[in-house]
Amino acid sequence: MLIVNVKKITFIILIPLIILTLLYFYINHNITVSQTQFLMNTTIEIKLYGKNIDKQKLEKIINNTFDVIKEVEDNSTSYNEYTGNAASLNKNRGSYYQVNQELIDQLSISAPFYNLTGGEFNIGLFRTVNLWRDSVTTNTLPTKEQALNSLGASTPNDIFIDVFNSRIKIPPDMEIDLGAVSKGYSLDEAVKFLKHSGINKALINAGGNILALGSPDDRDYYTIAVQDPHNISRMIGTVKLKDNQVIATSGSYNRYYEFDGKKYSHIFSGTSGYPTDLYKSVTVLTNKGIISDILSTSLFLLSIEDGEKLISKINYPVEVLYVTNDDKIIKSEGFEIEFSQDNQYKSE
């Protein structure tokens, strides 16, 4: 007589089913880790997207990525002295000074934009920035003569970079400020670290400079809002940001100086030391963080015609969108944007 143990058979059948279910869950388990920190004088948010990876490992990677950005901040600041950083270089101006590689990289890329922009983009503006910062304390609008004098006689053309010996020499009458460079550069360093750590999907937002690594599983882009300079809680429209693309916006609607009820941009002309107000905002789409930072500032300082000339001289894919002071949108042909329904601007 055959006796069948039904419970035992059922248990044996269930074991492989449970294993298969757990295996399926592991293979298809997507994890998102997000963290925000205040660095480089702005809020930085990093989102990592992982599959088949431990959440604690992702959290460790995201913390280490912030460490990379903090290192860029320390090496780039003109306010706090650390060995080989921008502040120490300013203190030792007039002679060669040993610097870190990050400073070599940033100055090598940014200094030539002085000539490319006819002098408008100028990394030697630390004294100009301080003039305007101090003016807020005294509530006294700087004169155009004071602003011009703050520039000094030297230009970025007078900076000597000794790449082989990691040394830089800036003129005695110059102090550098990398405020329009380092934030974008930090994105490049962060994504380099993420790739090295095996991450292929991430989104980094450094105060409006946004870099995409990879894309979501269901499409080949991230949807990014372009802020309305009239009302930062609203958007002009959305852009599809694809793998290795960066979007950056410069404008005077978030940061500005105010005297007697009039607002002055925090973006200064490299030839006058005075703020410019050609546009309400300029948004740039390209494929490198440091270039997005430099270009959004440069194009904010230039006429549209001169901006087109600048773009034609550099070896990067660039699309641009301007919001003019008379509430018009002017954009390059390749800048694709889906305008919001309540968009109040006229597109040309």
Query: What is the domain partition of the chain in residue ranges?
Result: 31-348
Give the pLDDT band of residue 345 (cuts 50, 70, 90): confident
Overall average pLDDT of the 277-283 stretch: 94
Residue 135, C-beta contacts closer than 8 angstroms, at least 6 positions apart: 141, 142, 257, 259
Query: Above 90 in pLDDT, residue 18?
Result: no
Q: What is the pLDDT of residues 99-112, one digit of tens each?
A: 999 999 999 999 99
Q: Which two tokens stand for residue 53?
A: 């990876």
What gap in Å lies between CA 159 and CA 229, rounded to an integer? 36
- 28 or 238, which is more confident? 238
Overall average pLDDT of the 249-264 stretch: 85
So what's the pLDDT on residue 23? 40
Residue 282 corresponds to which amino acid?
A: V
Q: Which two tokens stand for residue 59?
A: 């959290």
Q: Which two tokens stand for residue 232?
A: 């930062």
Q: What is the pLDDT of residues 32-62, one digit of tens each?
A: 899 999 999 999 999 999 877 788 999 999 9
Overall average pLDDT of the 283-290 stretch: 98
Domain covering 31-348, topology: T-fold (3.10.520)
Q: Are strands 167-169 and 160-162 parallel, antiparallel or unpaired?
A: antiparallel
Residue pointed to by tokens 């930090």: 186
Pick from 114, 86, 118: nearest CA to 99: 86
So what's the pLDDT on residue 29? 58
Q: What is the pLDDT of residues 210-237, one digit of tens each?
A: 999 999 888 899 999 999 988 878 899 9
Beta strands, E only, the chain: 30-39, 42-51, 97-98, 160-162, 167-169, 202-206, 209-213, 222-228, 231-241, 246-251, 256-259, 262-265, 279-286, 319-324, 328-331, 338-339, 346-347
What gap in Å lies between CA 184 and CA 180, rounded to an integer? 8
Q: What is the pLDDT of residues 182-209, one digit of tens each?
A: 999 999 999 999 999 999 999 999 988 9
**What does pLDDT average to over the chain?**
90
What gap in Å lies between CA 114 and CA 121, rounded to an integer? 5
Q: Which of 86-95, 206-215, 338-347 has the lowest mean pLDDT?
A: 338-347
So what's the pLDDT on residue 217? 84
Percent of the chain with pLDDT over 70: 91
What gap in Å lies between CA 277 and CA 329, rounded to an integer? 16
Torsion angle, alpha carbons of 54, 186, 330, 226, to 10: 40
